[in-house]
Chain A
């Protein structure tokens, strides 16, 4: 009951080997240079990482229980580097998923095979400079002129939106007003290179230096009418529907980070000598590591329970309310555990924990965003509270 199958473990091992051989040797340099390694993406594609949840007709290998496998891949990449982990997580969750879930056959045929193969990446632009947690406050507008959508507005912090292999960014935009007076929000696919679509220079970030993040601006940006993704007026609701997956995926990314901190702290505490003995003999060092081990275990159980529920939902055996609640709990707990894990590890490493020579510093910088992206910790608590029936 509390064990993954040997297929899961074989797959975990394959991704771990990949991460240790193809990512680990370069990651310090990439981080220093804020370099996005687009050459790595097709290699991830060859391993099938982008296609795990995609049906065979679009180049994937979807089968029952697929989402749990995706989470394993994100965890294992995240154990070596968080930016590479988020590249997969966002590539699938924000890039592929909306097209797969809401696209028509022609849209899927056009974009999915390249995305699955890792020849291309896609982004999803929901957040705006003035609409984050309150994503419904979207100001970006799109109006239908003849058979074209004309998009004007700006998006902020969009992952995978400006790499040299980005093929398309789906954005939410106001397309009118609903009968109840609230804005009608739709999702529109903007292919890279469309005139009027500007990818702003990369942000200077605290962490996730290897991950690609840009602001986007749209000025009189015209795309064909058929670039509408899903039904008109459903853009916001559609996006919310894919968020639960994204939250579980971020929880898996956080588990990878906490696991890395546990392994590295344990090793260091055994080998670093102070006062003639390994520092791990001191309870002041070993107790926080013991607590860290407990939090890794708890985070992993919450995360894979949520992933399992998501797979069960796909198979029609669970409700989306159960998944929503489990996803919020897993995301909240695992990301906070990961942030706290980096603090513990940095303390165990002493001065070395502050030096970029050791990976601890990179993980420490990368941790904070976990509590913010795909819904802040406060938003997760709001959702959990709502699930409990607390007044909102």
Chain B
């Protein structure tokens, strides 16, 4: 079985994240980055499938991003994935999710023979959650999203999706695209052995030309949406401390009404 896991290299939420002043895109070069934490669940799920299935399952990590994004591939390989594919091209800077899904779809096709595509439920920077659905659409594959449990059974994948009002069980035929939530597993830390083994694993780098994608279809200029203005979040106001002199409940209710919370 061939599994592809799509991962994203994102700015570290612990560091000061900023936007590029020139084009209002996320600043990616000057800040520390890492494998999006939500994607670690997808990598872990792929590794669990591989471990349960035995050796003929391969896990390939796919990422699109600047040179630094190779770190996200490396971390996934250290966790135990088999191979990496890194799509990198100057023309990709500023790509929106539509362009991203196009590039990822072309890369999945180029990898070929893929039975299962796993993704995280969202990136921790853009948090749009749409790429998995777009990717499935472009590949013409079933999309089963927000899996908090996943089981494979020969030619089908079954997932559990926990919604606000109901839990659904959804089954799709393979190949399929599945996005997983942070409830599905507990991602492992790279082991010493994994770290030492990772450097010997193959990583291919593709340009847009390698994938047959025209530069005019991607990047900031091709984006369907544009961030026109950015305003710093105002500093937090001092909180209000209510001493309960018997009417604490009333004061709280009044506060919540005034702030339009109720």
Contacts and interface: CB of A to CB of B under 8 A. Distances in A.
Interface of A: 7, 10-11, 14, 17-18, 46-49, 51-52, 61, 63, 69
B192 A69 contact: yes
B226 interface: no
Interface in B170-204: 188-196, 199
Nearest to A66: B192
A48 B188 contact: no
Nearest to A50: B192
Nearest to B74: A10
A146 to B, nearest CB: 44
With a 10 A CB-CB cut-off, give which of A52, A61, A63 has the most chain B CB atoms. A61
B199 A7 contact: yes
Contacts of A7: 195-196, 199
B78 A47 contact: no
Contact of A11 (B74, B188, B192): B192
Contacts of B190: 10, 14, 47
Contact of A61 (B78, B196, B199): B196
Interface residues of B, number: 12
A47 B199 CA distance: 17
A46 B196 CA distance: 15
Interface of B: 74, 78, 188-196, 199
Contacts of A61: 192-193, 196
Given A10-B78, A14-B78, A47 B189 contact: yes
A149 to B, nearest CB: 36
B52 to A, nearest CB: 17
A11 B196 CA distance: 9
A61 to B, nearest CB: 5
B193 A48 contact: yes
23 contacts: A7-B195, A7-B196, A10-B74, A10-B78, A10-B190, A10-B195, A11-B192, A11-B195, A14-B189, A17-B189, A46-B188, A46-B191, A47-B189, A47-B190, A47-B192, A48-B191, A48-B192, A49-B192, A51-B192, A52-B192, A61-B192, A61-B193, A61-B196
A52 B199 CA distance: 17
Top 8 nearest A-B pairs (CB, nearest first) are A48-B192, A48-B191, A14-B190, A61-B193, A18-B189, A47-B191, A11-B195, A48-B193
A147 B92 CA distance: 75
Contacts of A18: 189
Nearest to B188: A46
B79 to A, nearest CB: 10
